[in-house]
């Protein structure tokens, strides 16, 4: 393992500003608003801010306040933060992001989770945090091998925890982080005391009789899933089928990379009009800058392709409830869709379930206090127990 420090060459920052200033803009959308995608007026204003007023160096310094490392696992580079709590009996916790996120998502939760005394919590609620960048994402750099699906990444992160000397630990994630953490718990129940997720996929039942038994609220959530599949899943289809073709545009045009990601922060956050109502604009741009400055638009998209083309079903195994550790679920109302508890309990060992009245898909950035509190509450019941 090698210590790592972020130090983007000034030439790369100058190049970003020059490219943004030379953006070749399309015509205005006929209807206005977001129905066609990111509106031209908003995109122009945000790109201008990114190129002239956003201060990468300021945020780079903040990121470098935390100890970072890189290591090679299975021929792939893995970048991660390793923030140990001052409390010696802290529970190791693996925090895993998804797309289009990064390790930046979790920064506001580091203090409350590692130093609970400073936030009015008991020292027994402390965690040692391991926050990796997914292979192919950000400072982990582009992946080098085919077949890097989420299950393979789960195996790599289990190795990472072993290398750090953690024989017993917890896992948490949203988006891809949910899939990966659940897979780690399923494959390594002897090590994982529990898994907490803030996104859980519960596909609709194939049996019409089972579907008819669902509550009206649950059927509404199924309609929300249908809306996502019809209106919001184009990015997933493109990244899951032809990520390389997409990568040329996103790697060459910062405005293209900006629009590709900011659209999701608009659609999946708890806001009234604009994504920065839910998440600070500078932190949105820090997250997007990491994709641009590391040229990982294409390799991050490949995770969709590899998972779509993996052997077997990408969904959890049927016996996950019997073999996996206890599962805690945090449900935020403006997520892509909410899980249906009756269906979740058929597949998982659900031990904790919280439904919040605010927050969206990027809960760690939108509502860090709520998410951190739910993580603490769930694992407080599992500390001192051995996973079996």
H-helix or E-strand containing 352? strand 350-355
Alpha carbons 245 and 324: distance in angstroms, whole number: 38
The answer to whether 114 touches 92, Cβ cutoff 8 Å, is no
The answer to whether 335 touches 199, Cβ cutoff 8 Å, is yes
Query: Which among 79, 188, 352, 361 is annotated as catalytic?
Result: 361
User: Which stretches within 188-314 are classed as H helix?
Assistant: 208-212, 216-227, 234-241, 243-252, 254-267, 281-293, 297-308
Helix 40-52 × helix 254-267 angle, to 10° = 120
45 token code pair: 């204003």
Q: Is 352 tagged catalytic?
A: no
The answer to whether 80 touches 117, Cβ cutoff 8 Å, is no
195 token code pair: 């898994």
Q: Is 305 tagged catalytic?
A: no
358 token code pair: 């605010």
User: H/E/C letters for each residue in 19-33?
Assistant: HHHCCCCCCCCCCCC
Q: Is 150 tagged catalytic?
A: no
Query: Which among 97, 169, 175, 188 is annotated as catalytic?
Result: 175
List, in order, residues 6 or more apart from 342 with CB less than 8 Å away. 214, 215, 218
Rounded to the nearest 5°, which phi and psi values hold at 353?
A: -150, 120
Query: Which among 169, 304, 305, 348 is annotated as catalytic?
Result: 304
Rounded to the nearest 5°, which phi and psi values hold at 175?
A: 55, -130
Alpha carbons 127 and 122: distance in angstroms, whole number: 12
- Point out the residues that are catalytic: 175, 304, 361
């Amino acid at each position: 393992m090698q210590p790592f420090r972020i130090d983007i060459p000034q030439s790369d920052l100058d190049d970003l500003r020059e490219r943004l200033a030379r953006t070749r803009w399309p015509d205005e959308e006929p209807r206005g608003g977001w129905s066609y995608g990111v509106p031209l007026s908003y995109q122009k204003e945000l790109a201008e801010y990114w190129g002239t007023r956003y201060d990468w160096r300021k945020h780079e310094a903040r990121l470098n306040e935390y100890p970072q490392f890189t290591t090679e696992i299975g021929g792939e580079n893995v970048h991660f933060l390793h923030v140990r709590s001052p409390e010696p009996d802290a529970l190791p916790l693996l925090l895993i992001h998804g797309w289009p996120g990064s390790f930046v998502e979790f920064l506001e939760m580091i203090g409350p989770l590692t130093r609970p005394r400073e936030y009015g919590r008991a020292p027994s609620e402390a965690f040692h945090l391991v926050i990796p960048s997914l292979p192919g994402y950000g400072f982990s750099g582009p992946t080098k091998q085919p077949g890097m699906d989420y299950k393979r990444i789960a195996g790599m992160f289990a190795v990472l925890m072993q290398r750090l000397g953690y024989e017993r630990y917890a896992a948490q994630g949203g988006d891809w982080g949910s899939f990966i953490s659940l897979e780690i718990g399923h494959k390594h129940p002897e090590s994982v005391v529990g898994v907490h997720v803030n996104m859980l996929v519960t596909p609709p039942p194939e049996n019409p009789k089972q579907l008819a038994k669902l509550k009206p609220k649950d059927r509404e959530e199924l309609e929300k899933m249908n809306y996502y599949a019809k209106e919001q899943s184009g990015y997933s289809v493109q990244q899951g089928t032809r990520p390389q073709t997409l990568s040329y545009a996103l790697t060459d045009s910062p405005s293209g990379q900006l629009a590709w990601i900011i659209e999701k922060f608009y659609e999946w956050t708890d806001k009234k009009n604009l994504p920065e109502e839910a998440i600070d604009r500078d932190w949105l741009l820090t997250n997007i800058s990491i994709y641009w400055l590391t040229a990982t638009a294409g390799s991050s998209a490949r995770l969709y392709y590899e998972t779509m083309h993996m052997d077997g079903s990408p969904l959890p195994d049927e016996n996950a409830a019997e073999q996996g550790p206890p599962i805690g679920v945090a449900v935020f109302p403006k997520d892509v869709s909410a899980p249906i508890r009756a269906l979740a309990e058929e597949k998982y060992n659900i031990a904790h379930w919280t439904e919040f009245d605010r927050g969206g898909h990027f809960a760690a950035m939108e509502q860090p206090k709520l998410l951190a509190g739910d993580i603490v509450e769930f694992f407080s019941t599992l500390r001192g127990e051995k996973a079996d």
